[in-house]
Amino acid sequence: MNIHEYQAKQLMEKFGVATPPGRVASTPDEAEEAARALGATTLVVKSQIHAGGRGKGTFKNGFMGGVHLAKTPGQVRELAEKMLGQTLVTAQTGEEGRLVNKVLVAEAKDIERELYFAIVMDRATHGPVIIASTRGGVNIEEVAEHNPELMIRLSVDPLLGLQGYEARNIASQLNLGGKYIAPASKLFLALYKLFIECDCSLLEINPLVVTTDGKVYALDAKFNFDDNALYRHPDIVAFRDVAEEDPREVEASKFNLNYIGLDGNIACLVNGAGLAMSTMDIIQYYGGKPANFLDVGGGASEQQVTEAFKILIADPKVEAILVNIFGGIMKCDIIAQGIINAVKVTNLPVPLVVRLEGTNVAAGKKLLQESNLPLEAADDITDAAKKVVAAARKHSEAA
């Protein structure tokens, strides 16, 4: 789950992380009021969307940039009027862009240096890893590729946590010695505590700044959270903004379906993440393009299968559907009954290819055969991929 920058600031303030004061606004009036309350001589107005590259983005109304400086509350209001209710297009949003419903009004700081600091969960070391760099405020992937010597990496023992001497060592490597070492190491320790206690999978501060008055601040933050641990954090769940998510993914989450929308034309309904990825690969191999990743899991009910079909056909790009099930815990007859119900309920408008194997496969195939539904059976995954690609092509040509 992702959250907005203003929500990240709230979390950081809760854990004692130094960050410039700011307020969120949903209307130009609220933005002007926030500016007056902050009372700073220079303010920054930042569009709140779940995407990076806001500063270099363009609004569809022609206004350039989703991040601007302002000197007066009146200027803040003018900027908010140009941003709120408008669609911002950045390098990460795609051409469709994202609608800006809120802006963050924050105190601007005179920046002397911009740094980078992040904590991620690393599968290779089975624990948290801190990544830092003296080059902040830029695309960190480019720094890692072209200037790897500027990257600092520290694997943290998950049993001991980040130690004070380790935090001070990171500060030293970032050239934050002398008067900076105490506030910097305090900030790093607070961020690590936040990362662990909130079950984050990513915590990224870009930039981490040193100001001309000798302070160290987390200026901009991006957090991702482990969805499997959200039951422990109702306060974080309350941050969820479904308006920023794919509506199909939102609908799928209501029925505990793992769905990720893609831009292809062949929809997939599969059980198991590994089989789902293999199915997508083989569709691509035989000339098709997957429209989604959809894992119904090991214990899907007939209702979940029906709802999955509704989500798949709601995508106007879909020209064929492939159901690929290997029954272990999942029983093929349950899937088959779910398919039958789904086809009847949705009046399926596109070709359907079904491959079943595993537990109760004979019963599942019998149900499908006796249903007299317009579907095509496949013997194995290769046969299924070839048939669904051909079916999608034929459907497209006939349309």
pTM: 0.77
Residue with tokens 């890893």: 129
- Residue identified by tokens 């010597």 is 149
Residues 6 or more apart in contact with residue 157 via CB below 8 angstroms: 127
What is the architecture of the domain spanning 246-398? 3-Layer(aba) Sandwich (3.40)
Percentage of the chain modeled with pLDDT above 90: 67
Q: Residues of 28-66 as b/e, b for ≥16 C-beta within 10 angstroms?
A: bebbbbbbeebebeebbbbbbbbbbebeebebeeebebb
Asked if 1 and 227 count as a contact pair (C-beta separation under 8 A), the reply is yes
Q: Do domains 21-107 and 246-398 have the same CATH topology?
A: no
Dihedral angle sign, alpha carbons of residues 169, 173, 178, 181: negative
Gap between the Cα atoms of 88 and 290, Å rounded:
27
The more confident residue out of 268 and 242 is: 268
- d(CA 140, CA 291) in angstroms, rounded, equals 30
Catalytic site includes residue 116:
yes
**pLDDT digit string (tens) for 88-115?**
999 888 888 999 999 999 999 999 999 9
Architecture (CATH level 2) of domain 111-237:
2-Layer Sandwich (3.30)
Catalytic residue among 114, 204, 251, 307: 204
What average pLDDT does the chain have? 92
> In the CATH scheme, what is the code of domain 21-107?
3.30.1490.20
SS3 287: coil
Pick from 184-193, 195-204, 322-331: least confident: 322-331
Average confidence (pLDDT) over 132-137: 88
Domain residue ranges of the chain, discontinuous segments joined by +: 21-107, 111-237, 246-398
Which member of 6, 32, 116, 180 is catalytic?
A: 116
Q: At what angle do helices 28-38 and 73-83 cross, to 10 degrees?
A: 150
Write down the residue that tokens 């293999």 correspond to.
278
285 given a catalytic annotation: no
